[in-house]
Amino acid sequence: MAAQQTNHFFLSAILLLSIAVVSSKAALDAHYYDQTCPQAEFLIAQTVRNASIYDPKVPARILRMFFHDCFIRNKAEKDGPPNISVRAFYVIDDAKAKLEKACPQTVSCADIIAVAARDVVAMAGGPRWDVLKGRKDGKVSKANDTKTLPPPTFNVTQLIQSFANRGLDVNDLVTLSGGHTLGFSHCSSFVARLHNFTTFQKTDPSMNMGFASMLKQKCPNSNNNGDAGQFLDSTASQFDNDYYKQLIAGKGVFATDQGMYNDQRTRSMIEAFANDQDLFFKEFAASMIKLGNVGVNEAGEVRLDCRKLN
Ligand code: HEM
Ligand SMILES: *[C@@H]1O[C@H](CO)[C@@H](O)[C@H](O)[C@H]1NC(C)=O
Ligand SMILES: *[C@@H]1O[C@H](CO)[C@@H](O)[C@H](O)[C@H]1NC(C)=O
Ligand SMILES: *[C@@H]1O[C@H](CO)[C@@H](O)[C@H](O)[C@H]1NC(C)=O
Ligand SMILES: *[C@@H]1O[C@H](CO)[C@@H](O)[C@H](O)[C@H]1NC(C)=O
Ligand SMILES: *[C@@H]1O[C@H](CO)[C@@H](O)[C@H](O)[C@H]1NC(C)=O
């Protein structure tokens, strides 16, 4: 399949998967599959671990996929630019195939993503939590909602609003942004800060100057195609609090990340997490459970193929 076709295919898969009816109250359960599929979590963990050995990009992509799946659960990600994480969707397919063999028509794709996201965080040295399960997959293949994914150009007010639209507060925003302790960004997501920030300042003044010159070397002009980019913190395969330390040093990759350090509403939390990794881990686990409750659909179906409606 041509690359573009593949991308479209993956995108529609995620899109279909993510569209569900928002129910007012989530009633998910850590023991949801205890009777019906006791081996579910083991099979997912095994698949994720194996895939991550073959491709170290998998953990970050799965974590990001979970964020997107929760945020766009009730909407069509029609023209949203950020769809790179979908490249790890084959891991969800592999887990689904194993689960359909072990316990047919039982474990939803949305639950597989939620468990896989917990597993990649734990595998990378982060906290572990009990994943609440019992989500159904969306049945509706078309939605029209104004709430889309936040772009990396949002200011803090817009970020807070975007999270509040899903019932997540400022604390969740700062905490979940710590997901940027894993992974990588392409130039296109931050290049606007480097060469042509405003008429008066070519470079975003909130950036550490050495860091900015380093990024300019990696992304020398406004139209860098291809794979060039930057890891999101200096220990990008390790789940730790380094992301927050980098923000204090002016080395946040996205304007959104750095913006949170420069805003009174969010700065003290960043300082607290930079000083206390255990606190960050504890909060991250709690906020991931909240994120996993966003737009939960209990009235959909259990997909047989995570890319298609039954
Ligand atoms: C607060 C608003 C957020 C914005 C504006 C944002 C934006 C972005 C952007 C632009 C990228 C880079 C895409 C690329 O160029 O390839 C990215 C990557 C990533 N994001 Fe976020 N993000 C946000 C929140 C989150 C949250 C809540 C999580 C998870 C809890 C998360 C996890 C990740 C991960 C793991 C990557 C790296 C993906 C990879 O290595 O392929 N992000 N994000
Ligand atoms: C492990 O991952 C590789 C690469 O994705 C795949 O080819 C292989 O079938 C996987 N093995 C198991 C046991 O899942
Ligand atoms: C997803 O990414 C591919 C290239 O990586 C792009 O061609 C496609 O238009 C993107 N889709 C959306 C909806 O942004
Ligand atoms: C989608 O939403 C836009 C703006 O809210 C509206 O103008 C349009 O008619 C809607 N389309 C559908 C198919 O509902
Ligand atoms: C944030 O962005 C919105 C939309 O562009 C703008 O109306 C608002 O004034 C901005 N807020 C701050 C604090 O910069
Ligand atoms: C900088 O941005 C302005 C406004 O978007 C644009 O007109 C100008 O061509 C850009 N300059 C460069 C060197 O990219």
User: What pTM does this model have?
Assistant: 0.86
Does residue 61 have its Cβ closer than 6 Å to ligand 1?
Answer: yes
Q: Specify the residue with its C-alpha closest to ligand 5, atom 1.
A: 155
Tokens 């799965």 belong to 62
Asked if residues 204 and 152 have their Cβ atoms less than 8 Å apart, the reply is no
- pLDDT, residue 7, reads 55
Element (H, E) at 231: strand 229-231
- pLDDT, residue 24, reads 41
CA-nearest of 301, 238, 267 to 21 is: 301
Could you identify the atom of ligand 6 that is nearest to the CA of residue 196?
1
Query: CB neighbours of 50 closer than 8 A, spacing ≥ 6?
Result: none
Cross-strand partners of 184 = 231
**pLDDT, tens digit (0-9, with 9 covering 90-100), for 50-81:** 999 999 999 999 999 999 888 877 544 333 33
Does residue 216 have its Cβ closer than 6 Å to ligand 1?
Answer: no
Q: Which ligand sits closest to the CA of 199? A: 6
* Residue 263 CB neighbour total at 10 angstroms: 17
- pLDDT, residue 151, reads 93
CATH annotation of 156-287: 1.10.420.10
- Which segments of the chain have a pLDDT < 70? 1-26, 74-85, 139-147
Asked if residues 33 and 108 have their Cβ atoms less than 8 Å apart, the reply is no
Does residue 182 have its Cβ closer than 6 Å to ligand 1?
Answer: yes
Q: Which ligand sits closest to the CA of 221? A: 6
User: What SS3 state is found at 228?
Assistant: coil
Catalytic residues: 68
In this structure, what are the phi and psi dihedrals at residue 229, rounded to the nearest 5 degrees?
170, -160
Hey, what CATH class is 20-148 in? mainly alpha
Tokens 């380093």 belong to 214
Domain boundaries defined on the chain:
20-148, 156-287
DSSP code, position 81:
S
Output the CA torsion sign for 114, 243, 162, 77: negative
The domains spanning 20-148 and 156-287 adopt the same CATH topology: no
**pLDDT, tens digit (0-9, with 9 covering 90-100), for 233-270:** 999 999 999 999 999 999 999 999 999 999 999 999 99
